[in-house]
């Protein structure tokens, strides 16, 4: 438990520059490790995206920094017919998607139980970098991260 608390503190204090550098480095590292396990590059990127999206919505809300992080994917998927307020409102009222994301958590935890500790730690670090993008962990984010950390 002490290790988990220390990791929470470390990521809450991470500077924006270091956070983005860590995200880039760890994402490349995880992609490489997943391809070594037999996943193709697209599957590897999809898995990383699943972890990132799960982390973004783990507290049931989308804040502006999280929105900016996922903006390129939203733009590619939906075009430019949306803004922060519409995405925030849509997610707040989309209980079906939130339920599906909770089911994804089960799949995510299952995956984490089947990979090396080193790969698991890299994936968890990516998720920590995402949930602390605003410099703090909410209670829901802490619960989500504790589940990932303990998997």
Walk along the chain (151 residues) and give the pLDDT tens digit of each residue: 789 999 999 999 999 889 888 988 998 899 899 999 888 887 887 778 778 777 877 777 777 777 676 666 556 555 676 666 766 666 666 556 656 666 666 777 777 778 888 999 999 999 999 899 888 899 989 998 998 888 7
Contacts of 89 (CB under 8 A, 6+ apart): none
Number of CB atoms found within 10 A of residue 85's CB: 9
> How many helices and strands (H and E) does the chain possess?
8, 0
DSSP category for residue 80: T
| Residue position matching structure tokens 């299952």 | 110
- Please give the model's pTM, rounded to 2 decimal places: 0.79
- How many CB atoms sit inside 10 A of residue 36's CB? 10
- Residue with token string 């809450």: 12
């Amino acid at each position: 438990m002490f290790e988990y608390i220390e990791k929470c503190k470390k990521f809450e204090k991470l500077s924006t520059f270091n956070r983005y550098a860590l995200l880039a480095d760890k994402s490349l590292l995880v992609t490489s490790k997943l391809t070594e396990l037999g996943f193709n590059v697209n599957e590897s990127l999809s898995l990383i995206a699943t972890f990132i999206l799960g982390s973004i919505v783990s507290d049931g809300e989308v804040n502006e920094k999280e929105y900016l992080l996922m903006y390129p994917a939203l733009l590619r998927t939906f075009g430019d017919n949306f803004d922060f307020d519409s995405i925030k409102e849509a997610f707040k009222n989309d209980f079906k998607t939130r339920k599906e994301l909770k089911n994804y958590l089960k799949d995510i935890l299952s995956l984490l139980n089947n990979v090396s500790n080193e790969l698991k730690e890299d994936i968890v670090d990516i998720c920590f970098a995402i949930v602390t993008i605003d410099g703090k962990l909410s209670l829901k984010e802490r619960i989500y991260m504790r589940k990932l950390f303990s998997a």
